[in-house]
């Protein structure tokens, strides 16, 4: 009996109408989801560089590109998600970029062509010591090329208290331009890394 009633309703016109409704619903919802996913909002760096020296204004685009393509930025993004903000400024004659990520992740990069300063500092908790060292090794190649800046990865010194906000730091030193890499600790926990050189 139920089949007979259902069959009487399922005329060819009724079946076609149901098929069209389903097709329209599918077509209507699909593109919206795709568009929302595809349109990622580009990160805008706040801060006015119009009064900065032309040398620093010229240094900004390649610095930003190198930082965002580099291993330290990528590690932060993979662990914490996209940055919440980006700010650019000139401080004490150096061009500075500051990225803030979720869960207190921070990357600060600065360059000063006058003294050939290059610095990248990352606040990122949860790293193991060996992982922090590998990140710094990748950052050295990213900044200074395949030959790096002469860091001796086999010899370290320990500084207490730390210079960059921790209780101690393991320091790897290089033979060019005061190059150094630091793993920053708060007691036994790694809380950040730093790559620095200045001639």
Q: What is the pLDDT of residues 161-185, one digit of tens each?
A: 877 777 898 999 987 778 999 999 9
What's the pLDDT score for residue 97?
95
Tell how strand 45-46 and strand 85-91 pair up.
parallel
The least confident of 2-6, 79-83, 118-122, 193-197 is: 2-6
Q: Which residues contact 49 (CB under 8 A, 6 or more apart)?
A: 56, 57, 60, 88, 90, 95
Share of the chain above pLDDT 90, in %: 45
Q: How far is the C-alpha of 187 from the C-alpha of 105, rounded, in Å? A: 19
pLDDT band at 159 (very low <50, low <70, confident <90, very high): confident
The length of the chain is 199
Query: Which residues have C-beta within 8 Å of that of residue 85, sequence separation ≥ 6?
Result: 46, 99, 100
At 37 the pLDDT is 39
20-42 pLDDT, tens digit per residue, is 344 334 444 444 444 443 446 77
At 188 the pLDDT is 85
- pLDDT band at residue 43, thresholds of 50, 70 and 90? confident
Output the six-digit token pair for 37: 């996913």
Distance CA 37, CA 128 (A): 33
More reliable by pLDDT, 5 or 62:
62
**Residue 86 β-bridge partners:** 45, 99
Strands annotated E in the chain: 45-46, 85-91, 94-100, 106-112, 117-127, 157-159, 168-173, 180-186, 189-197
Rounded to the nearest integer, the mean pLDDT of the chain is: 81
pLDDT exceeds 50 at position 6: no
pLDDT, one tens digit per residue, over 48-89 is 898 888 889 999 999 999 999 999 999 999 999 999 999 999
């Amino acid at each position: 009996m139920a089949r007979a009633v259902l069959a009487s309703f399922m005329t060819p016109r009724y079946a076609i109408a149901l098929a069209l409704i389903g097709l329209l619903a599918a077509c209507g919802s699909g593109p919206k989801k795709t568009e929302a996913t595809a349109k990622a909002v580009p990160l805008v760096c706040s801060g006015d560089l119009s009064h900065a020296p032309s040398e620093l204004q010229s240094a900004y685009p390649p610095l930003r590109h190198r930082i965002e393509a580099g291993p330290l930025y990528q590690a932060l993004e993979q662990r914490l998600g996209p940055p919440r903000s980006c700010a650019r400024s000139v401080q004490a004659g150096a061009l500075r970029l500051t990225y803030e990520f979720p869960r207190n992740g921070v990357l600060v990069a600065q360059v000063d062509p006058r003294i050939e300063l290059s610095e990248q500092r990352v606040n990122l908790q949860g790293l193991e010591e060996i992982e922090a060292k590998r990140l710094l090794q990748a950052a050295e190649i990213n900044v200074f090329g395949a030959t790096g800046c002469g860091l001796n990865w086999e010899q370290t010194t320990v500084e207490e208290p730390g210079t960059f906000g921790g209780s101690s730091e393991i320091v790897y030193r290089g033979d060019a331009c005061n190059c150094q890499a630091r793993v920053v600790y708060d007691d036994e926990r790694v809380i950040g890394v730093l790559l620095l050189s200045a001639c």
